[in-house]
Structure 1
Amino acid sequence: MTAATAQDEIKLPTEAATLELGGRLAPLLPRPGMVHLRGELGAGKTTLARGILRALGVAAEVVSPTFTLLETYNSDGLMFAHIDLFQEWHEAGLAEALDASDLCLVEWPEKAAGLGTPDIDVALRDAPAGGRVAVLAAGTAAGAACLARL
């Protein structure tokens, strides 16, 4: 990512705090837009995605796309894609989902080349005192505007 603007670490002591961060981010994210979600297994990537999608009006159950690779959701005429790139993505036809989505949440983006620059990159990790920490960085001007309003 070039010229990324980083925001201070955000402490996420509970799952509810991770959902709340997603809810705060959701209305600020650009459309079309892309968010990269980074972190080890169990770091809270899907929980953050769930918070974003719930705040955008998605009523369906938001599940991890680990086995399906792609979950799509619709709300108010918008399509949201939640992609897990832990496995090979080109063979699964996920490029079309990237192009067709109003907002694309990508888990494990480091596993694929050619995704393009995300508007927001979120790195989640365990906090030494418990809970998690999120570090947000903007990769585009629209992402920087989002983080400035957060």
Structure 2
Amino acid sequence: MTPEEIRTRFQEFVGDEDYINFVLSLYDRFPRPENLHLWQEKLLTDFSNKFGTDPINTTDVYKIFSHCPIHDFELKPDKVVIVNGNEIAASIPYEKERELFPLANVNAPRDLDRFEYPESVEVVYCERCREVKNAAQHSS
């Protein structure tokens, strides 16, 4: 199966909501974690067993699921500044952001578990998410 076929079949297998959560959870922390969440591993194992495919390893997961689950645009790399989450003035509620442009990634909030940070971090983003976010901010 091609990566596109795997994405399509996986989405059909788990349903839209779980598919969106699966992909967004891959990219909700930067730098990317080395391991998947256990629930993600279980979904992949169940998928591989159902379709008789080879298990999908972590490296391949990021190659296969490299598209925005909302807009189906290929994700692109970028370097963004790390900001204090308390200093972000959100004009749009988080739930709406997650629904409309979850992978805009124009900045990276600090991880509260760490005390030292570089000034910036490499992220991936969806070009369409950034366009939608920009339009939403200018209309509010």
- Same fold, TM-score > 0.5, yes or no: no
* TM-score, reference length from structure 2: 0.27
Name whichever structure is richer in strand by fraction. 1
**Structure with bigger gyration radius:** 2
**Greater relative CO (CA pairs within 8 A, separation 6+):** 1
Name whichever structure is richer in helix by fraction. 2
